C-alpha cells in the first residue's frame, strides 16, 4: 500500500470517528464494538490498520483450509477492528 492509500483510509477513519463520537481529542476514550478506544494519530492508525489486514489475510487462509480459529487471534482481530472502526468480518461464515 502506498502512503497516499494510508492517508485516504486515515481521512475516512477520522470522518467515521467524528461522526460516531463527536470531536474528541486524541487523549479521550470512547466505547466501540465492546472495546474502549481512543482516536488514533496517523502513525498509530497505520500500525493498527496494517495489523488488522495481516490478521484478516491469516484468518481467510485458515478458514479456506477448513482449519479452526485460535481464540486469541480472533479476539485480537476484533480488538483491532474496533480500534480502526471497521466491522469485523465473520470468518466462520466462509
Residue 94 has pLDDT above 60, yes or no: no
Q: Output the pTM of the full model.
A: 0.79
* pLDDT for residue 70: 76
Contact 83, 35 (CB under 8 A): yes
pLDDT in tens, 26-81: 999 999 888 899 999 999 999 999 999 999 998 888 878 877 777 778 888 889 99
* pLDDT for residue 15: 96
Tell me what percent of the residues of the chain surpass a pLDDT of 70. 96
DSSP assignment of 45-74 equals: HHHHHHHHHHHHHHHHHHHHTTPPPPHHHH
* pLDDT for residue 18: 95
CA angle 1, 21, 16 (to 5 degrees): 30
Amino acid at each position: 500500500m502506498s502512503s497516499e492509500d494510508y492517508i485516504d483510509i486515515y481521512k475516512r477513519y477520522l470522518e467515521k470517528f467524528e461522526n460516531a463520537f463527536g470531536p474528541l481529542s486524541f487523549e479521550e476514550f470512547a466505547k466501540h464494538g465492546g472495546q474502549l478506544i481512543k482516536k488514533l494519530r496517523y502513525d498509530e492508525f497505520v500500525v493498527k490498520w496494517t495489523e488488522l489486514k495481516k490478521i484478516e489475510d491469516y484468518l481467510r487462509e485458515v478458514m479456506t483450509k477448513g482449519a479452526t480459529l485460535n481464540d486469541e487471534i480472533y479476539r485480537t482481530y476484533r480488538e483491532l477492528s474496533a480500534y480502526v472502526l471497521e466491522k469485523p468480518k465473520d470468518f466462520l461464515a466462509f
